[in-house]
């Protein structure tokens, strides 16, 4: 990102990392719905990768096939082929594989996943061994011959974006959404993944596959939660909630730092609207580093 377009860059970068994590949660939830699986079938979910243990049944394979098509169709149309989720169901196990051979099976799974990576969008461009007509061109949503979003590099620029000093540029709706997510994350206490959307929800997938993300500034009341979704506390352990860590060390605004910002003429509109405890932006961290001001970080608390 160039300097004149970097206002809000910290929020976008923070949001993109979080968005991928939330997308993984939404994909897992959709696959479990389509295959009739319990959340206890999720063996691994970390670093953008997940592993499910499922019965080797035709109904499960059909459910996974449908979920893969729904996920691929949405990703292909939303991100124009720049983001994809590689899935494979080639690896099968028997009871004996859990006793001494499980590591071999995990390596077999990784090999199958590597093969899937070498066949990107095969389900989108082929059908029953034949090329799908029109599959190699995007629909009307792709800005052929037009200017694309200067921040993300794809998508039609439609939303006004402040660059500082009263100037604006136009960015894509995805970029604008990422900035909003980044702003909400600074104060977020919990997230929720469910099929129940709301006015501030982030939607994944389409039609009956739709799965929503909600960001909560306070821990929801479990007794009155009727969404039937998954609730995760962010960066803390809370009874009744799962836990997701979105940062290990987050530089945050303190009263001392606010005073030093003011003393050295570093106060700006973004800082003025920030509250004590909010995460610092990249620009603020850079300004602090230039003037050798000590940054106070609050690590994720360890519970013994």
Which pLDDT value is given to residue 227? 73
Beta bridge partners of 214: 192
Beta bridge partners, 243, equal 233
Q: How many CB atoms lie within 10 A of CB 281?
A: 24
pTM score: 0.75
Q: Name the region of 166 (left: φ>0; alpha: ψ -120 to 50; beta: rest).
A: left
Q: Sign of the C-alpha dihedral, residues 201, 202, 208, 209?
A: negative
Q: How far is residue 39's CA from residue 31's CA, in Å, rounded to a whole number? A: 10
pLDDT, tens digit only, all 304 positions of the chain:
433 444 566 677 778 888 989 999 999 999 999 999 998 999 999 888 899 999 999 999 999 999 999 999 899 888 888 888 999 999 999 999 999 889 999 999 999 999 998 888 887 777 777 777 777 776 666 666 678 888 877 778 889 887 766 788 888 888 888 888 988 888 899 999 999 888 889 999 999 999 999 999 999 888 777 678 899 998 888 888 888 877 545 567 788 888 887 887 766 666 777 778 777 776 677 666 665 444 444 444 544 4
Neighbours of 130 (CB within 10 A): 7
DSSP symbol at 224: G
CB 75 within 8 A of CB 83: yes
> Which bin fits 301, alpha (ψ -120 to 50), beta or left (φ > 0)?
beta
CB-based contact 175:167 (threshold 8 Å): no
DSSP 252: B
Q: So what's the pLDDT on residue 7?
A: 55
Tokens of 118: 């070498």
Nearest-angstrom CA–CA distance, 218 and 227: 16
pLDDT of residue 46: 84
């Amino acid at each position: 990102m160039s300097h004149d377009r970097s206002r809000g860059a910290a929020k976008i970068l923070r949001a993109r990392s979080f968005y991928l994590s939330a997308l993984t949660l939404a994909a897992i939830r959709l696959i479990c719905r389509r295959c009739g699986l319990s959340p206890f079938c999720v063996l691994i979910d970390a670093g953008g990768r997940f592993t499910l243990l499922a019965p080797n049944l035709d109904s499960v394979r059909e459910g996974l096939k449908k979920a893969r098509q729904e996920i691929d169709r949405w990703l292909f149309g939303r991100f124009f082929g720049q983001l994809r989720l590689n899935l494979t169901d080639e690896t099968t196990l028997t009871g004996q594989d859990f006793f001494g051979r499980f590591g071999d099976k995990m390596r077999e799974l990784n090999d199958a996943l590597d093969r899937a990576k070498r066949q990107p969008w095969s389900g989108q461009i082929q059908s029953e061994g034949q090329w799908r007509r029109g599959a190699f061109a995007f629909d009307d949503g792709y800005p052929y011959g037009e200017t694309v979003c200067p921040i993300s590099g794809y998508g039609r620029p439609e939303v006004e974006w402040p660059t500082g000093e009263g100037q604006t540029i136009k960015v894509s709706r995805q970029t604008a959404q990422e900035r909003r997510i980044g702003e909400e994350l600074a104060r977020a206490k919990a997230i929720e993944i469910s099929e129940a959307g709301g006015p501030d929800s982030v939607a994944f997938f389409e039609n009956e596959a739709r799965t929503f993300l909600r960001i909560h500034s306070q821990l929801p009341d479990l007794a009155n939660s009727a969404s039937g979704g998954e609730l995760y506390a962010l960066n803390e352990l809370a009874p009744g909630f799962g836990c997701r860590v979105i940062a290990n060390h987050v530089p945050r605004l303190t009263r001392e730092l606010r005073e030093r910002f003011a003393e050295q003429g570093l106060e700006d509109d973004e800082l003025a609207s920030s509250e004590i405890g909010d995460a610092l932006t990249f620009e603020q961290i850079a300004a602090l580093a230039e003037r050798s001001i000590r940054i106070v970080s609050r690590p994720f608390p360890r519970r013994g």
